[in-house]
Structure 1
């Protein structure tokens, strides 16, 4: 196994953060840290990276912004191969990352899931309550000056079962918050959790969850297996009047199938923070008072921005010290160990 001296390491920091600048500038005294401003377009980012690669090798890329850089694939990062060893990006999702390409080239990718977990779980609870209590409908009636005209009594949360699909860090936090409000919870996960992690939630199969839950809340990453996890066949098997909440990724739901299920009455109301073809939203959803909508907004709190940058930097420090970040998405064999930290 090769050793890399810290003073020979080259780190690219793409985009400007607000909370870890001091740490990065301190690191700059010990290794080569290059700050790259966020580019106007992806094409500009690709050209910028290729120019950097033409003038030297680079071992690490930290993305403090990805708006005009994604996807993280061979077109964007291939110019840094074979020297590239570690890439870290903000946020929990990694559907914009070509993990297979990075793994094949022994590049570790780390995300930052912990910083966004609590605000996303809180947003989940907000969407669940809005959907169950019909908050969007009630607000629309008041704004039209119609007071309670046409509003029906909503279910009581103490009589409802929430089915959580995906019990990672966000799903577990959402479960605890929902439990405090009186909901019963069941969950489906790729593996059953330990009793201490389950809490009061009951583990069930995916089939049982979609057939028995009153509210279905999605917390899975977007992969080839979870793409359109909920579509016409799944909606047909759900209870009549089910509530659907999605704070994960839009394409986990077939949005046109969701519209059909709402039009038929199978789905009573929805709470959606994410959409299949963002920023496009199906016209029916935009017009429907039975849909509570937000623009991929669950993580947008002032504390999140601070926490997520610190989690990214902690991933870098862990990689420098041990060869592994704290929250690695993939697991290629480490090629080099950094010494001198």
Structure 2
């Protein structure tokens, strides 16, 4: 077998031993820790420091070090690189089409993130239903209930899920325990066994009939600003928006306007259009529940994610295949 070196970009916090164990099957282990820069990383790639690189582990926070995996960076990486194992359910900072053209396969971490992200989604939904931010701020300011207003029960409300993948299905499962009716929209209807009683509707019907709309889809060129002014105009007056997926799915300025007008009663957001920057209108609004992108931030989930990346890395080195390859590349194979 030819040289099959592995590279870790960023840090591993919960599975360090398992990363070192990869050295038993890889010809060499390289590391590029946090603290570097894109220019330095590009320079090292071009100078041949990562000789024989076959597969790399891209940590969850490494994008702030290397920047996006675009044409410039992919051209600098060794031609021997065949696999990118990314730690994260979202991978919008990797140009999948450019990777595919270069014969580089990419994996992400679905499944491992489902429960923790859905838990945060339910937390945000309940907080938004009860308009909790006003009371939460008031009590800390010594103002007891402050500008208190009655909230809503989840029971008998219709939860519309845009993107019924693993996280969407986990969200639906939890919401049913609160007596909610579940409907969803995907590009394609799921098999009945995966719907678990949820109703499949068109995108337009989802917008028009949902009491709560949860965004659980990936970000790409087609889904950027999939929710904007035109979509808000179609929604019920007083709709509640929950987003634990990616901020740019929503036109944030249009959301602020919809919150001010009352079209959107409240919103629960874990992600933002220009993270870590947040639209001032959201920061000023008392009818928004805000979290700083912590959907997968539990010890258990972070370890599970790291282990899944390492399982992909080992599978790539030993068997030249990925366990959780990104869907776009799976479809590409199916069309060959």
Flag structure 1 segments of 5+ consecutive residues without an equivalent. Answer: 334-341
Give, in angstroms, the shift of residue 55 of structure 1: 6.5
Give the whole-Å Cα distance in 2 for the aligned partners of 1:15 and 1:261.
39
**8 Å CA contact retained: 2:5, 2:28:** yes
Please report the RMSD computed on the Cα atoms of aligned residues, expressed in angstroms: 1.8
**8 Å CA contact retained: 2:135, 2:146:** no
Q: 1:81 to 1:49 in 2, by over 3 A?
A: closer
**8 Å CA contact retained: 2:116, 2:296:** yes
1:26 and 2:9 aligned: no
**8 Å CA contact retained: 2:159, 2:181:** yes
> For residues 198-277 of structure 1, what are the structure 2 equivalents within 5 Å?
198-277=195-274
What does residue 48 of structure 1 align with?
44
Secondary structure of the residue aligned to 1:157 is coil
Q: 1:19 to 1:148 in 2, by over 3 A?
A: closer
1:110 and 2:107 aligned: yes
1:281 and 2:272 aligned: no
Give the whole-Å Cα distance in 1 for the aligned partners of 2:12 and 2:143.
47
Give the whole-Å Cα distance in 2 for the aligned partners of 1:166 and 1:193.
11
1:283-323 deviations in whole A, cap 9, x for unaligned? 11101110110111111111122111100011122223432
Equivalent of 1:9 in 4, 15, 20: 4
Give the whole-Å Cα distance in 1 for the aligned partners of 2:316 and 2:37.
30
**8 Å CA contact retained: 1:57, 1:80:** no
Give, in angstroms, the shift of residue 199 of structure 1: 0.9
**8 Å CA contact retained: 2:44, 2:50:** no
1:36 and 2:32 aligned: yes
Query: What is the TM-score of this pair, normalised by structure 2?
Result: 0.92
Q: 1:41 to 1:55 in 2, by over 3 A?
A: closer
1:131 and 2:121 aligned: no
Flag structure 2 segments of 5+ consecutive residues without an equivalent. Answer: none
1:119-151 deviations in whole A, cap 9, x for unaligned? 111000000000011111122233344434542
Give the whole-Å Cα distance in 2 for the aligned partners of 1:36 and 1:155.
49
Give the whole-Å Cα distance in 2 for the aligned partners of 1:323 and 1:292.
44
Give, in angstroms, the shift of residue 207 of structure 1: 0.4
Give the whole-Å Cα distance in 1 for the aligned partners of 2:180 and 2:50.
58
What does residue 159 of structure 1 align with?
156
> For residues 313-324 of structure 1, what are the structure 2 equivalents within 5 Å?
313-324=310-321
Query: What is the TM-score of this pair, normalised by structure 1?
Result: 0.91
> For residues 119-198 of structure 1, what are the structure 2 equivalents within 5 Å?
119-198=116-195
What does residue 302 of structure 1 align with?
299
Q: 1:167 to 1:150 in 2, by over 3 A?
A: same
**8 Å CA contact retained: 1:39, 1:45:** no
Give the whole-Å Cα distance in 2 for the aligned partners of 1:230 and 1:174.
19
**8 Å CA contact retained: 2:124, 2:269:** yes
What does residue 339 of structure 1 align with?
none
Aligned length: 327
Secondary structure of the residue aligned to 2:57 is strand
Give the whole-Å Cα distance in 1 for the aligned partners of 2:206 and 2:197.
16
**8 Å CA contact retained: 2:71, 2:98:** yes
Higher mean alpha-carbon deviation, 154-163 vs 235-244, is at: 154-163
Give, in angstroms, the shift of residue 11 of structure 1: 1.4
